[in-house]
A and B are shown apart, each in its own frame.
Chain A
Amino acid sequence: MHALNASNISKSYQTSGETAKVLRGVNLQIARGEMAAVMGPSGSGKTTLLHVLTGIDTPDDGDVAIGGENFAQLSEEERALFRRKHMGMIFQDFQLLESLTVKENMLLPLILDKKDADVQKAALEKVMDALGIGDLADKGIMEISGGQKQRAAIGRAVMNEPEIIFGDEPTGSLDRKTTGDVMRCMVRMNRQSGISFLIVTHDVYTASFCDRVLFLQDGKLALEVKKEKDEKSFQEDILKTLYALGGGRDDLF
């Protein structure tokens, strides 16, 4: 069974009286434990796709199933509860609450799910150890670096052991070294817990940490590249594919 199975997703928006078709029948499957990235030039519909896949937005047409459960046609209320139990999210600008400590931010999904203190404690210890941020637990969000913030955000995303974690440009605000650290951290979480990851990014280096990269063009998934050798050669394959699709360097970096 797939962690994510999206079929025939369409989405359009009304802008200044005109209809803009952003997604045109997207089909996408992510296997359990797979780490995939979606790339594409600006305006290709990456963020819209992510919003539809996470239930933040509803598709005009098509189905989205996570862990075999179709949720695209659920009510907003039901989608929120579904998201709470089955999904994690990582954002480019972290979206951590400044009013809370690192530990409290990470615990939020369990708190919203009304889990007992014992469950919270055990889960927190496990995730903190895995991410290597135990010393940051009681620090405020404004006291830690960008890389540490994103690791805390990863911790928050894995805390409720979801089927899949979605990343919206998760390294967009980070430098190359920190990007490497954060992506390695995600890979480690993916390998250890078997949680699937789907990352939307425009950065080849970030995408090269994934097992598979899908290319979105004109609202459709045009091509995909799988990692077969090392990261270096995977990066070259990604670049070649992007050039083949007509993307310039401005779209990539």
Chain B
Amino acid sequence: MTFFDISKKMLRFGFDRYRLYFLCNVSAATLFCCFALIFSNPAFMNGQIVNSSISGNIFLPAVVSAVFLIFFLPVSCQAFLSSRKQEYGVMFSLGMSRKEGVFHLFFEHTVVSLSALAAALAAGTVLSFLFFAVILYGIGITGVQWQFCSEAYKITFILYAAVTAAAFVWNGGKFMRDKIGILLKAKYRSEKTGKFFKLLNRLVPGYMNRHFVAWSFVRRHKKVWIFKYTFAAVIVAAAALLMGSCITMYPGFLRDAENYSPYDMVYAQIDGMNQDPIQEAVRILEQNGTKADQVIRLPYVRDGSFNYISAADVNKSIGCNYQIQEGEFLNLFQYDPKDGYEHNMQPVSAVTISGNQKLRSAGSDVRILFNQNAAFADRTLIVNASDFETLRADTTRSAGCMNLFVFAQWENSYQGICAVKEYLQNSNHTDDEEQHYYALSSKVERYRDAEKSGQFLIFLMVFVTGLMLSAEFLLIHSQIQAEREETDRAVRSLKLFGMAEREIGKCLRYRNFLRFLPPLIAGTILSLLPSYYLNESYGMGKLGVLAGAVFGIVLIFINVVLLCRAGSTSSG
């Protein structure tokens, strides 16, 4: 018989411990690998394909998962090595040298860590693949698909290898410095009652007496539990924060779609494009069940930077009241200040319109006058009618007309919009790239995009919070499992001095409540303030807080139900 045979027997006997450590490693690395594969995906992070307000949400969970990995693995490593203390204490007392001990531990640790890494990379790949499959086939967002990103695997490997190596050096070093006597007695070591428990005993002596046995389980391993409670609470807070953001961002997307589309259909007649008569577009719309109540034609001039529109035209057609003097202009910022985005609203002080003729700024206004369209420049200046004529006469700029449509019912206009779009494209006879530039834009399309983005966001949040809550559960559950042997020993003693099975079950259930619920409650409370500030930028601070609170309460309720239904006699 060799030491290798002995090691194999130890592995078989302590398989639960190895499996638990393996699973802890796998889950932490899987979580990070999955997020890494998502945030390394070039298409997903491309603002042209996925709204950055959605893709940006991947960073918080990615950071949380990295922090989870950084803190969870060393704690798991510590728990795993602690469970081996007595075995190694015996070996050392029989003459195994510390060098041999380190070698065996290192070998075991390396085998478990590497196999866990392989499993985690595979599981992370599958999870991220499912993620992209759902957004591609389930939600129907095109242009985004799973891609092999070697960077993601590299980052996961480097982070995981660094953390596991550091965890082993730190915990293994402590383990090896422990005296043999301490190693031999490790599993029987008791802990002093902490200040918190002493305080509870003073404050609520009746309650503490009633639940004395349950609290005797909770009092153990204070340092590890304080860390686990804190980290679990942070995970729950991040999940509640994301869920709160999701609840506010979804209606925010829809609201933005409406706010940024004051007209139901818009296209430009400019540069010789979309020149067919308006009546033809109206006829096609009617053929497809959409009645145009009003069509506004707003002349405009554009160059590389600005749209120029005449104050007289705007006042007449859109019902504004701009008074712009000759030689002046008004900066118009077409943004909703409460849309949650940051906007560059730096006004222009002067522009040259012809030769040496300059216009000076007369101030600025923030107001959405018309929809966004590729044929319009990003920024708009409102000028005096005579200056507008000067601009229109300048052949270095393009002059054209915005056609702004108001429908009786925009919600049902999608078919008509598609028909007009197709008609204009056919009549323009240009290539696809050019077509995109002059294509019409509409409220219904933007609204549909917003709905799709919202669904995507909800899926992303459900996916992310699901993984984060799994991590939180694992954090608590793994420690309960690590203490299982100790708990079983305590349960045997309790039975010996006359505690009934039912009473022990009740105690363990109560112990589980004390293990699982505090981080949920603390995390929910912790999320409230950040949630308010984060969502207040959309003007939905209170809704964000409410959503986070409801999410936390639902989580607590689910946990209570699950804990009540869990086997009353199970020590786990």
Q: Which residues of B contact A107 (CB under 8 A)?
A: 1
Contact yes or no, A111 B3, CB < 8 A: yes
Contact yes or no, A57 B179, CB < 8 A: yes
Q: Mark A101-143, 1 if CB is under 8 A from B, else 0.
A: 0001001110111100100100000000000000000000000
Q: Which residues of B contact A100 (CB under 8 A)?
A: 6, 9-10, 13
Contact of A99 among B13, B89, B179 (CB under 8 A): B13
Q: Which residues of B contact A89 (CB under 8 A)?
A: 93-94
Contact of B91 among A47, A96, A112 (CB under 8 A): A112
Q: Mark A67-103, 1 if CB is under 8 A from B, else 0.
A: 0000000001100111111010101000111111000
A56 CB–B CB distance under 8 Å: yes
C-alpha spacing A14/B9, complex, angstroms: 40
Contact yes or no, A112 B1, CB < 8 A: no
Contact yes or no, B94 A77, CB < 8 A: no
Contact yes or no, A109 B94, CB < 8 A: yes
Q: Which applies to chain A's interface (DSSP): helix, strand, loop or mixed?
A: helix
Contact yes or no, A95 B13, CB < 8 A: no
Residue of A nearest to B6 (CB): A111
Q: Which residues of B contact A97 (CB under 8 A)?
A: 10, 87, 90
A149 to B: closest C-beta gap in Å: 13
B194 CB–A CB distance under 8 Å: no
Contact yes or no, B98 A77, CB < 8 A: yes
Contact yes or no, A85 B9, CB < 8 A: no
Contact yes or no, A113 B95, CB < 8 A: yes
Contact A51 B95, CB 8 Å, known A95-B90, A99-B13, A100-B9: no
Residue of B nearest to A124 (CB): B1
Contact A112 B98, CB 8 Å, known A56-B181, A97-B90: no
B67 CB–A CB distance under 8 Å: no
C-alpha spacing A104/B13, complex, angstroms: 13
A103 to B: closest C-beta gap in Å: 9
Q: Mark B169-203, 1 if CB is under 8 A from A, else 0.
A: 00000000001110010000000000000000000
Q: 8 Å CB contacts to B: which residues of A224-248?
A: none
Q: Which residues of A contact B179 (CB under 8 A)?
A: 56-57
Contact yes or no, A81 B6, CB < 8 A: no
Q: Which residues of B contact A57 (CB under 8 A)?
A: 179, 181
Contact yes or no, B99 A112, CB < 8 A: no
C-alpha spacing A206/B455, complex, angstroms: 78
Contact of B94 among A47, A82, A84, A104 (CB under 8 A): A84
C-alpha spacing A107/B3, complex, angstroms: 10
B346 CB–A CB distance under 8 Å: no
B89 to A: closest C-beta gap in Å: 7
B52 CB–A CB distance under 8 Å: no
Contact yes or no, A77 B6, CB < 8 A: no
Q: Mark B106-125, 1 if CB is under 8 A from A, else 0.
A: 00000000000000000000
Q: Which residues of B contact A98 (CB under 8 A)?
A: 13
Residue of A nearest to B95 (CB): A84
B562 to A: closest C-beta gap in Å: 33
Residue of B nearest to A88 (CB): B94
Contact yes or no, B94 A99, CB < 8 A: no
Q: Mark B1-44, 1 if CB is under 8 A from A, else 0.
A: 11101100110111000000000000000000000000000000
Contact A56 B2, CB 8 Å, known A80-B96, A89-B94, A95-B89: no
Q: Which residues of A contact B96 (CB under 8 A)?
A: 80, 84, 112
Q: Which residues of A contact B92 (CB under 8 A)?
A: 80
C-alpha spacing A115/B48, complex, angstroms: 70
Contact yes or no, A108 B9, CB < 8 A: no
B51 CB–A CB distance under 8 Å: no
- Chain B interface size band reads 20 to 34
C-alpha spacing A84/B93, complex, angstroms: 8
Contact yes or no, A51 B87, CB < 8 A: no
Residue of B nearest to A120 (CB): B1
Contact yes or no, A117 B1, CB < 8 A: yes
Contact A95 B1, CB 8 Å, known A57-B179, A80-B98, A109-B94: no
Residue of B nearest to A51 (CB): B181
Contact A83 B93, CB 8 Å, known A56-B180, A91-B184: yes
Q: Which applies to chain B's interface (DSSP): helix, strand, loop or mixed?
A: helix
C-alpha spacing A57/B89, complex, angstroms: 13
Contact yes or no, A77 B97, CB < 8 A: yes
Contact yes or no, B87 A81, CB < 8 A: no
Contact yes or no, A108 B181, CB < 8 A: no
Contact yes or no, B95 A112, CB < 8 A: yes
Q: Which residues of A contact B1 (CB under 8 A)?
A: 104, 107, 111, 117, 120
C-alpha spacing A82/B181, complex, angstroms: 18
Contact yes or no, B95 A80, CB < 8 A: yes
Q: Which residues of B contact A82 (CB under 8 A)?
A: 95
Contact of A76 among B5, B89, B98 (CB under 8 A): B98
C-alpha spacing A54/B180, complex, angstroms: 11
C-alpha spacing A85/B98, complex, angstroms: 16
Q: Which residues of A contact B14 (CB under 8 A)?
A: 99
Q: Which residues of B contact A56 (CB under 8 A)?
A: 93, 179-181
C-alpha spacing A51/B90, complex, angstroms: 14
Contact A111 B2, CB 8 Å, known A77-B98, A80-B97: yes
Contact A112 B94, CB 8 Å, known A97-B10, A120-B1: yes
Contact A95 B95, CB 8 Å, known A100-B9, A111-B6, A112-B3: no
Q: Which residues of A contact B95 (CB under 8 A)?
A: 80-85, 87, 109, 112-113
Residue of A nearest to B3 (CB): A111
B94 to A: closest C-beta gap in Å: 5
Residue of B nearest to A121 (CB): B1
B15 to A: closest C-beta gap in Å: 10
Q: Which residues of B contact A112 (CB under 8 A)?
A: 3, 91, 94-96, 100
Q: Which residues of B contact A95 (CB under 8 A)?
A: 86, 89-90, 93, 184
Q: Which residues of A contact B97 (CB under 8 A)?
A: 76-77, 80-81
Q: Which residues of A contact B2 (CB under 8 A)?
A: 111, 114
C-alpha spacing A114/B95, complex, angstroms: 12
Contact yes or no, A104 B98, CB < 8 A: no
Q: Which residues of A contact B181 (CB under 8 A)?
A: 47, 51, 56-57
Contact yes or no, B6 A104, CB < 8 A: yes
Residue of B nearest to A166 (CB): B93
C-alpha spacing A113/B3, complex, angstroms: 10
Contact yes or no, A108 B91, CB < 8 A: yes
Contact yes or no, B90 A83, CB < 8 A: no
Residue of A nearest to B185 (CB): A93
Q: Which residues of B contact A111 (CB under 8 A)?
A: 1-3, 5-6
C-alpha spacing A36/B40, complex, angstroms: 71
Q: Most B CB atoms within 10 A — which of A77, A96, A108?
A: A108
A97-B10, A114-B2 known; 20 new pairs, CB 8 Å cut-off, are: A47-B181, A77-B97, A80-B92, A81-B95, A81-B97, A82-B95, A83-B93, A89-B93, A95-B89, A99-B14, A99-B87, A100-B6, A104-B1, A104-B9, A107-B1, A108-B6, A108-B94, A112-B91, A113-B95, A156-B94
9 residue pairs from A and B, CB less than 8 Å apart: A54-B93, A56-B180, A76-B97, A83-B94, A84-B95, A91-B184, A95-B89, A104-B6, A112-B94
Instruction: Give the top 8 A-B pairs by smallest Cβ distance, nearest first.
Output: A84-B95, A99-B13, A80-B97, A83-B95, A56-B180, A99-B10, A77-B97, A95-B90
